[in-house]
A and B are shown apart, each in its own frame.
Chain A
């Protein structure tokens, strides 16, 4: 996996997704600088990839941050209420787009599952975390992880 998709590529995908869908500016999603705070009240969105290469793209952030992401995506005012359905749909769609773009970098065709959102990430049998990117969206922690279950070459696991 690391020979197939590099950390910088994952970061570039996340930044492109946020620039196009959320911020309109590439400079608002940056590598996290400093100690990592604990994410209380986390919301997790993920999408699984299937094929010669299988894995999972994961997005983790605090519920409040997810609410603000949903407000931007849905073109709501900062004080507008966001329903749980809209929150789940919005965060899931971000994970879906990140996962889809990750899939496009793989050397062989595969399929993308439908996005899921929950309070915690369910286990993925045999998976190892290939990339862990703590990012700052407008100063708030947002983590993008990539998990791998069937690397093309076992030596590619970091």
Chain B
């Protein structure tokens, strides 16, 4: 499985990437904001899952989700928001824009595993 972690915090990118690797993902690609992530996808990056922060400079996570959903070539990519935006209205906006799942910071590795399990993205050997 290949993932792309999009967050303006290098610390948070490392935390999410580490959790994904623990769950059997390849070392994830990383992007500092939505535009950076789109550039990587447009350059041909192969991604099964994108974990996306909401508040970022240059391009926020919601705009990134809308842009990905507007491109049929990227329809296979699972989009999971990973953000501090916890209000119900924000969650609804993200899901309406095309996000598949929503994980609120702070989170544990178990919480990521549960979300990815729901999405069918946890490798079989990780199931206990």
**Size class of the contact patch on chain A:** 20 to 34
Chain A hits for B108, CB < 8 A: 20, 24
Chain B hits for A16, CB < 8 A: 106
The answer to whether A96 and B10 touch (CB under 8 A), given A16-B106, A75-B18, is: no
B30 at the interface (CB under 8 A from A): no
A89 near B11 with CB under 8 A, answer yes
Chain A hits for B87, CB < 8 A: 103-104, 109
B12 near A93 with CB under 8 A, answer yes
A100 at the interface (CB under 8 A from B): yes
Q: Which 3 A-B residue pairings sit nearest by Cβ, starting from the closest?
A: A100-B84, A20-B106, A104-B86
Near A by CB (< 8 A), chain B positions 56-87 give 57, 83-87
What 1/0 flags go to B1-18 for Cβ under 8 Å of A? 000000011111011001
A73 near B15 with CB under 8 A, answer yes
Contact of A103 among B11, B57, B84, B106 (CB under 8 A): B84
B89 near A21 with CB under 8 A, answer no
A20-B85 Cα distance, complex, nearest whole Å:
16
Near B by CB (< 8 A), chain A positions 88-121 give 89-90, 92-93, 96-97, 99-101, 103-104, 109, 112, 114-115
**Chain B interfacial residues counted at CB < 8 A:** 21
Shortest distance between the CB of A23 and any CB in chain B (Å): 11
A94-B34 Cα distance, complex, nearest whole Å:
21
A74 near B105 with CB under 8 A, answer no
Chain A hits for B89, CB < 8 A: 109
A109-B89 Cα distance, complex, nearest whole Å:
8
Contact of A90 among B11, B85, B90, B105 (CB under 8 A): B11
A70 at the interface (CB under 8 A from B): yes
A92-B9 Cα distance, complex, nearest whole Å:
8
A93 near B9 with CB under 8 A, answer yes
Near B by CB (< 8 A), chain A positions 67-97 give 70, 73-75, 85-86, 89-90, 92-93, 96-97
Chain B hits for A104, CB < 8 A: 84-87
> Please, which residue of chain B has its CB at the minimum distance from the CB of A113?
B55
Contact of A96 among B18, B57, B84 (CB under 8 A): B84
A73 near B55 with CB under 8 A, answer no
> Please, which residue of chain B has its CB at the minimum distance from the CB of A18?
B106
A66 at the interface (CB under 8 A from B): no
The answer to whether A97 and B8 touch (CB under 8 A), given A21-B15, A75-B14, A109-B87, is: no
B11 near A93 with CB under 8 A, answer yes
Chain B hits for A135, CB < 8 A: none
B84 near A97 with CB under 8 A, answer yes
What 1/0 flags go to A28-66 for Cβ under 8 Å of B? 000000000000000000000000000000000000000
